[in-house]
Amino acid sequence: MAQTHSTQSLDFDIDSITGDARAGQLIINDQTLETPNLFPVLNFYAGGTQRSVYGGGVHRTIKEFMIGADRVGTDPLSEYFDAAMTSVSSLTDYNLTRERYEDYLETPIKERELFEPFSGLVFADSGGFKFLNSDEMDGSDFEMEMNQETVFDIQQSLGSDIIVNLDHPIAPDDGHEERVEKARQTADNIHEFLSLSRDFEGALYLTVHGYNYSMIDEFLDVLTDEVPEGVIREGFDGIALGSLVPKKDNRGALITAVSDCREVMADWGISDWPLHVLGISSRAIPLLAALGADTFDSSTHLHNAINGKYNYSMMESVPIDDVDFSRCDCPVCQSDELVDRMKGNAEYQKDILGPVAMHNLIIQKRELAEIRRCIHEEDTNALVDYFEDRFSRDKTMRRYAHQVVNESLGGYF
Ligand SMILES: [Zn+2]
């Protein structure tokens, strides 16, 4: 049952398969990530200086937990940062000076002493989603054209372990011609990306766009008209399925896109490549893991916190004012000082909401460990039971959970 997909840059060992779900290890640059797993979105550089852990409000507090800074008073919570997603486009959010921009890119993230406790896999996306409408990075005293070369330079300077080509994501109302044109533009970038990244130390994921089998299959057809299939097979290590952000709350659409993408991968003979799903809501994670997605990135832990929501489980969140903190044994909720802050006793919003975001992330990471445990069981029963336990009382999710159990886990016994 075990399968391995090995390239120069990556080993992907699948050691358990149950239904369509799979679990294993993704090994890049000697770092091992258990899959399926979550890359939480994290802005390592967010306008500030080293003294403020490079800033970022709630992002800053999350980084303080990651490194165990005095301000949060916990040990480094590195175990929850075995992976992180950082966006090239996040650098455009902070109106940087050129000097600061250059300072950020001077040293790779994991070579900075400040981030020493962090050794997780860094995935840097291309910002394609953001640069679609404006292809410039606006600093306070400089502007820069964002093209394949600049994006690659940034990804490499950050010391990323996984990167993607600069893509042209599709939108739900794009017509057929427009989608084909975007696939051609993405293909143009791929030529350049593969030549720029020849000496890159890390894994290259190919971005794939489409909402269903025929769209994804056609995307690959257009791509391979422009770039020989052999070059794509040789050059890339994994697949990143994108363009799903506008559909992230539409569970049915997500299920179709991910299960169809797995089918296309099987038909193209690359089913053993790792599949990452870009930009999803964490509530979709169990469904996508059951469909055979290996990794995903999400900012739900942050968004929930910013909206005043504390997660009791991956599925259930409650307003902070109603929380019984004693229910949680995570290092955040075990600290009287941090509980006091979460109750609103702090001067800055980031000190109230940052610990909530960290707690939310811990809940998600623990839930993923449980999903992996179920996949590693001998048959589909454990995962089906897990779905039953988590979704049977959840009116909005139940229907989709049943669909996934029936289509991907062999149905109920
Ligand atoms: Zn907690």
* Predicted pLDDT of residue 217: 96
Cα–ligand 1 centroid distance for 217 (angstroms): 43
Cα–ligand 1 centroid distance for 271 (angstroms): 37
**What gap in Å lies between CA 284 and CA 255, rounded to an integer?**
9
Cα–ligand 1 centroid distance for 326 (angstroms): 9
Q: What is the mean pLDDT of each run of 10 residues along the chain (413 residues)?
A: 86 96 97 98 96 96 98 96 94 89 96 97 87 72 88 96 94 92 93 95 96 96 95 96 84 94 96 96 94 97 97 94 96 97 95 97 98 94 94 89 92 75
Query: Tokens at residue 258, please?
Result: 């991910």
* Predicted pLDDT of residue 138: 77
| Number of Cβ within a 10 Å radius of residue 412 | 11
Domains of the chain, start order: 36-305+358-408 (3.20.20.105)
Predicted TM-score (pTM) of the model is: 0.96
| Number of Cβ within a 10 Å radius of residue 310 | 26
Cα–ligand 1 centroid distance for 126 (angstroms): 32
Query: Tokens at residue 41, please?
Result: 């979105």
Cα–ligand 1 centroid distance for 43 (angstroms): 22
For residue 284, which phi and psi values (nearest 5 degrees)?
Answer: -85, -10
* Predicted pLDDT of residue 15: 94
Cα–ligand 1 centroid distance for 304 (angstroms): 14
* Predicted pLDDT of residue 133: 63
* Predicted pLDDT of residue 1: 59
Cα–ligand 1 centroid distance for 50 (angstroms): 28
Cα–ligand 1 centroid distance for 312 (angstroms): 8
* Predicted pLDDT of residue 134: 67
* Predicted pLDDT of residue 335: 97
